[in-house]
Amino acid sequence: MARPRRIVLLRHGESEGNTDDTVYEREPDHALHLTETGWRQATEAGRRLRDVFGEERVSAYVSPYRRTHQTFRALGLDPRRVRIREEPRLREQDWGNWQDAEDVRLQKIYRDAYGHFFYRFAQGESGADVYDRVGAFLESLHRSFEDPDHPPNVLLVTHGLTMRLFCMRWFHWTVAEFESLSNPGNAEGRTLLLGANGRYHLDRPFERWCTPESYGATG
């Protein structure tokens, strides 16, 4: 088994939806473009990643959304050293078709009160649903490590919530731990590094917006 030395998680650059909530009433979430700022953010992230990867090969998985594909393109990685695959399981949490701004505002209030992991959008997914498909992707990813010639680097270009749930699944975090964490910024990353003990650790933690609540054992 050839486990990679690093697994890089990268959130897409700023998109139209990050600057204008009403765009979801007119455009499908998956079709939103990066803004000019988002292109710059992704280009800057690419400079950092090229320094990290150097001349090493990379196995890249990209969410099927337009903004993640555009982010990957802006990274400017050497195509001779990168194997890229579109991975639908790394997509954003599905809110369900076009959105009504007032309805979304209310559902976000309900979600904040109910919990981001368990709350299910009326026509879409809960955080738990995303967790399940990320878990299915992880099974596929681990099988790919069985290739003795697997690249030493893995890159996932995805979304903030998906990044947190990927780490929750990988490190076996509790729901309360997940609920306490904030999304990374646009074009911001986290890296799982393989240590000498054969275990992975995060290069830096996610920011917290609160202290994790402990539910205790209920039996």
- Got the DSSP string for 69-127? HHHHHHH---TTTEEEEE-GGGPPPP--SS--HHHHHHHHHHHHHH-TTT-B-TTS-BH
CA distance 69 to 51: 21
Q: In what order do the strands lie in the sheet with 153-158?
A: 82-86, 58-62, 153-158, 6-11, 189-194, 200-202
Residues linked to residue 9 through DSSP beta bridges, in sequence order: 156, 190
Tokens encoding 2: 């050839």
Q: How far is CA 45 from the centre of its chain?
A: 15
- Got the DSSP string for 171-196? HT--HHHHHTBPPPPTT-EEEEEE-T
Q: Can 92 be counted among the known catalytic residues? A: yes
- Got the DSSP string for 7-30? EEEEEPPPBHHHH-GGGGGTS-GG
Q: Can 188 be counted among the known catalytic residues? A: no
Pick the catalytic residue from 14, 16, 92, 125.
92
Helix, strand or coil, per DSSP, at residue 169: helix
CA distance 144 to 142: 5
- Residues catalogued as catalytic: 12, 92
